[in-house]
Structure 1
Amino acid sequence: MENFYDDCISTFQETLHVSERNYVFFLGLAKPETIISSCHPSDTISLKVFQDLGAEAITENLPVVEKSQVVIVAVKPHIVPVALGSIKNSIVDNDKLYLSVAMGVTIKQLEQILPKDSRVIRVMPNTPALVQSGASVFVKGTTATEGDTTITKKLLQSIGTCEEVTESMMDGITALSGSGPAYVYLFIEALADGGVKMGLPRDLAYRLAAQTVLGAGKMVRETKQHPGVLKDDVTSPGGSTATGIHFLEEHAFRGTVIGAIEAATKRCREVAQSGH
């Protein structure tokens, strides 16, 4: 993959998490020597990860921003004012693009913390980005340019799909695609447990369950047919699939999943308000 950005890309890190490990793929777009990370002094794991990737890793924020054109903010929400606070009163120029993956921290809050006219884009990736199958979204700040959008899309498309959305959607998206992999893992585990109960070997049950979920998702994406139509294609009158679906519906499968998204969305809003 061709390098698209020769200026420095940086990140503020708090702990080893998905946004950091995504750099394995971002390195296909930016040269390792152009990436610099600011990690907490006690976070030796993150420091080593970036060093092993061939990137520079230090324990101070301001030098990282001074050297960079794209700054990725990957810390817990309540850490954002601390991590970025020193920048506003510094002599750092505002010709920077800040990509924030901090949950619940709004564009308005980021723009208030950063120097005036800083270009901000809020990003929400998810963990399947680790296998280049992420579902990411982004929201442009008030001064972000089309060039910033292009950079953001190239970064996110290197680890999966990406969509531009409005900020009012972010809490629901966090609950759906941000938390969604955990729900799907639980479903895969339950499918496999059902197979084991019916006499299948555990390893075979996990492989079949995982591939079934992967294949079903691919069918929805690639055929562009409504999931209900695809469901009906599998469901024969009076057959085993119809019986299984009836059992799920009888036990509020849809309502339970919808309720989980609603509960997670409410929790996202609580975090946005309290920072915790």
Structure 2
Amino acid sequence: MTRLFGFIGIGNMGYAMLSGAANVFDKVNLTFTDVNLERLEWVNEQTGVDYCKNNSELIKETKIVILAVKPQYYSNVLTHIKEYITKQHIIISIAPGISVDSLKEQLGEETRIIRAMPNTPALVNTGMTAIAYSKDNYLEEEKKLINEFFTSFGEVVVLEERLMDSVVPIIGSSPAYVFMFIEALADGAVKLGISRQDAYKLVAQTVLGSAKMVLDTKEHPGVLKDQVCSPGGTTIEAVAALEKNGFRNAILEAVNDCYEKCIKLSK
């Protein structure tokens, strides 16, 4: 093994993670592969990271392997890489709904596996990732390396594996909800005469700043909301309209439906 990290599959999520890692790790310690040759060459041009010709070559060269293919392709990929996996490897799975037990069943009980749920803001180094380690032995230096990898494109939280399905709608899918909110609020701005370009900047920066306030002040979001809502003012009027139209309930339903879909994928 000559490289630290290798990506099997380099779609949107794999590319986002690789781009972040390439800013922290020496590029000779990174590699990737994909079935699409044009994609391989494009990612190589964008990141300067060399790719492998196939999965078996990548496994032989790499210690920590990130499975970044879509869930429906996992079974086929695992079948083809099983014979090349050793006790020295660490396999990171980012697929929703696929348990550690399921992966061990296909790769072997001694395979060390980490389940991870990253999100696409990793592309701009502000991702959020939840990870769960299998109940195997990991050296402290390995855990430090894993942490350095995930923090190269954002923040990381270590959870018990039983919670990994629960974070799919909270981490993995939620950027889509936020983008929908930004788009809708920008539409409102355009309706009021603001240009589309200005609307997106106004709204996106406001969402970014609001999220930073939650993280930095550590105040309850309800407290921060109340600070914006003056008695009899314009904001409480807007909040009342959101409540009337089921804003919170829509979010809760989205989280629940996403979670239920994740559970179905695991069966």
Q: TM-score range by the shorter chain?
A: over 0.9
| Residue 100 to residue 179, structure 1, CA distance change in 2 (3 Å) | same
1:127 aligns to 2:136 (yes or no): no
| Residue 171 to residue 43, structure 1, CA distance change in 2 (3 Å) | farther
Partner of 1:18: 13
Of 163, 167, 172, the residue aligned with 1:169 is: 163
Of 128, 142, 147, the residue aligned with 1:148 is: 142
Confirm or deny: 8 A CA contact 1:174 1:265 kept in the other structure.
yes
1:70 aligns to 2:64 (yes or no): yes
Partner of 1:101: 94
Mapped to 2, the partners of 1:228 and 1:102 lie a distance apart of 33
Partner of 2:28: 33
Secondary structure at the counterpart of residue 238 of structure 1: coil
Counterpart amino acid of residue 120 in structure 1: I
Mapped to 2, the partners of 1:191 and 1:179 lie a distance apart of 19
Deviation readout 1:52-77 (Å, 9 max, x if unpaired): 53333233212211111111111112
Deviation readout 1:84-127 (Å, 9 max, x if unpaired): 2234335x532111111122211111122224422111111101
TM-score, with normalisation over the residues of structure 2?
0.92
| Cα RMSD for the two superposed structures | 1.9
Deviation readout 1:180-216 (Å, 9 max, x if unpaired): 1111111111111112222222222211111111111
1:202 aligns to 2:196 (yes or no): yes
Of 176, 182, 191, the residue aligned with 2:176 is: 182
Identical aligned pairs, as a percentage? 32
Confirm or deny: 8 A CA contact 2:16 2:122 kept in the other structure.
no
Confirm or deny: 8 A CA contact 1:140 1:149 kept in the other structure.
no
1:8 aligns to 2:4 (yes or no): yes
- Count of aligned pairs between the two proteins: 266
Counterpart amino acid of residue 190 in structure 1: A
Of 206, 213, 217, the residue aligned with 1:219 is: 213
Confirm or deny: 8 A CA contact 2:11 2:68 kept in the other structure.
no
Q: Give the gaps of 5 or more residues in structure 2.
A: none
Confirm or deny: 8 A CA contact 1:11 1:38 kept in the other structure.
yes
Deviation readout 1:2-27 (Å, 9 max, x if unpaired): xxxx74321211x5212223212201
Q: Give the gaps of 5 or more residues in structure 1.
A: 1-5
Mapped to 2, the partners of 1:179 and 1:86 lie a distance apart of 29
1:253 aligns to 2:247 (yes or no): yes
TM-score, with normalisation over the residues of structure 1?
0.89
